[in-house]
Amino acid sequence: MIFLFKKTGFTIIELVVVVAILAVLSTVVAGNLVTYIAKANEATIKGNMSTIASSATAFFDREGEWNNVFVAANNPTAANAMHSINSIIAPNTIVTALKSDNSSWCACTVLVQRGGSQGTSLNTFCVDSFGYRKESSPTCTSRCNATIGRCGD
């Protein structure tokens, strides 16, 4: 009497190989996803900083001075852009400075580090009333202050 067993299902080795392949693929995808999210946040921050610069220029064209340029009631577009940046990084991460004689201004923020850690990057992005819009490595407080009223490198 010969019994022929019909093979049904997968062997344990086949299942282990499939699980291992899925684990490697998910690790690669997860690593890239974190990088893409950080790059998107960085682009959003830079765009919002440019919005702050553009709305400040419009404020100057309308008011004829820089005084109160960062007061939300006077410049709601800039206030909304600052709020958006604060929601990406952390509250109160934007340094704004109006020169003591109200002749110029600057705004600076840290950029999101491309590893997923938010707000810990050494790079900053600064904009000012002279049209400066650039990424650099000094801290915001050294770049943007009321003494110089512009982004200093």
pLDDT per residue as tens digits for the range 105-122: 999 988 876 544 444 556
pLDDT tens digits along 47-90 = 999 999 999 999 999 988 888 888 888 889 888 888 888 888 77
In 112-124, which positions are buried (b, 16+ CB within 10 angstroms) versus exposed (e)?
A: bbbeeebeebeeb
Count CB neighbours of 140 within 10 A.
Answer: 22
- Report the candidate in 100, 110, 103 with the shortest Cα–Cα distance to residue 145: 100
How many domains is the chain partitioned into structurally?
A: 1
pLDDT at residue 91, rounded to an integer? 72
Containing structural domain, residue 138:
12-143
Any domain includes 4: no
Rounded distance, CA 111 to CA 76, Å? 23
Across the range 21-38, mean pLDDT stands at: 88
Any domain includes 153: no
pLDDT at position 142 over 70 = yes
Predicted structure pTM score: 0.74
Any domain includes 151: no
Measure the N-to-C terminal CA separation of the chain; round to a whole number of Å: 91
For residue 14, give every residue at least 6 positions away whose Cβ sits within 8 Å of its Cβ, in sequence order, or none.
none
